Each structure stands twice: as C-alpha cells, then as structure tokens.
Amino acid sequence: MGYGIGRPGFIRFMMPLFMVLACSACAAKRFETCDKPPPFYLRLEASERVNPDPRGRSMPTLVQILQLRDSIRAEQSSFRDLWGKPEALLKEDLLQVAEFTVAPGQEVARWIPRDPKTQFVVAMGLFRQPLGYSWRTLTMLPSVPKHLCTDEPVGQRGPRATDAQLRFKLEGYQIDLLRASPSSMGNPALDNLQGGTTPHWSKS
C-alpha cells in the first residue's frame, strides 16, 4: 500500500522551501552591487591650527582615503598598523587608496572614483601626535540606486543633491566627519553621522 501527500499536506511541506527561496531572493537584491558606480565627492578642510610642531607652528598634513569592502579589521587596527602597511593588515578588505596633502587653512575638494565593492571609507591623517582614534574616522557609503548606477563623467561640475558626498575637518591632531550625504540613498546609518594635490590611486 503506497502513501501519498494530499494537496494540503503538500502545500505545508513545500511552504518552508518557498520561504527560503523568497528570503534568498530578497538578500540577493539587498546586497546587489552597482558594477559602474558614480564617483563620490570628497572635501577635506584644514583649520588654521592643524598638526602643530613642537614650536606650535601648523604643518601640512598628509591624509589617506581608504575604500573598504568591510570595516572590522580597520576598526581594530592601530595608527602604526594602518600607516605602516595597510594592504598587509586589511588584506582583501582594502580596495583603493588615495593620498592628499592639506595645508593649514586650506581645502581639498575632489571627485573620487568609487570601487564597485566599496561599502566603507576610512579617512586618516598622518599626525605628529596621534591620540586614541582621533587620527582616523570611518563612515559608510550609501548604496547606489539603480537609476544612478552609471559611471558618469563628472568633469569640473560641483556635486548635486543625489551625489554621495563626504566632508572631513582636520584640526589639531584629529580628523572628524562633518557631513555624509545624501542620507536618502538607502543607508539610514548615515543619518546619525555628523587647494590640494591630484589624488594618486592604487589598487590592492
């Protein structure tokens, strides 16, 4: 005598499978990356008093901008580790690195090419006296909406409201995030965040 599963039983049997498949589809959509993301706009502002030497004279400060796919290693790293050899410490998490020199009282504003896998950005300054974690700051980049997923040549135009923008301030021996926008681009975490050289990019 054979045993079968009736229609109601079949539905109950298959329902968990349907739920798993549905959740998988949602997860894939949530973590879908943009293959050709537009650049983000970076602004570095230095106060008149920044990175002072033993005589109290403000000095030009080297700033590195790291694009990361994950932030855990960076959050746990020391000043010496990150400035010494970041690629050895961050490994596959490190996607791109840019360096800028900011003079006291000056500003650097640049469009930064974005790696398709970038989710986090670390900005850190080469300060004479790095204290605690004030020498670096970490923020999340918003995901790119589908209608903005294009490697747009921005040229010399200024940023628009829909462009991802990061603004940092250097003062004393610390660097702070002043602005991360737009917060409406799919990353609610950003709602809680508060003249230079041509960047040199290198792939890890």
What DSSP character marks residue 163?
S
* 16 occurs within a structural domain: no
* 26 occurs within a structural domain: no
pLDDT computed for residue 22 by the predictor: 52
* 164 occurs within a structural domain: yes
Domain span at residue 136?
34-203
* 188 occurs within a structural domain: yes
The HSE-up count of residue 165 (CA atoms within 13 Å, CB side) is: 17
The edge-to-edge listing of strands for the beta sheet with 120-125 is 136-140, 120-125, 61-68, 94-102, 202-203
Confidence of residue 6 (pLDDT cuts 50, 70, 90): low
The edge-to-edge listing of strands for the beta sheet with 107-112 is 107-112, 40-50, 165-172, 174-181
pLDDT computed for residue 167 by the predictor: 95
* 12 occurs within a structural domain: no
* 128 occurs within a structural domain: yes
Is 18 or 154 the better-scoring residue by pLDDT? 154
Q: Which CATH number characterizes residue 132's domain?
A: 2.60.40.4150
* 166 occurs within a structural domain: yes
Smallest Cα–Cα separation from 166: which of 45, 79, 49, 70? 45
| 42-88 confidence digits (pLDDT tens) | 999 999 999 999 999 999 999 999 999 999 999 988 898 888 788 88
Is 160 or 203 the better-scoring residue by pLDDT? 160
Q: Find out whether 110 and 196 touch, Cβ atoms under 8 Å.
A: yes
pLDDT at 26 over 90: no
* 28 occurs within a structural domain: no
pLDDT computed for residue 187 by the predictor: 43
**Dist. CA 132–CA 73, nearest whole Å:** 16
Q: How many CB atoms lie within 10 A of CB 38?
A: 20
Q: How many domains does the chain have?
A: 1
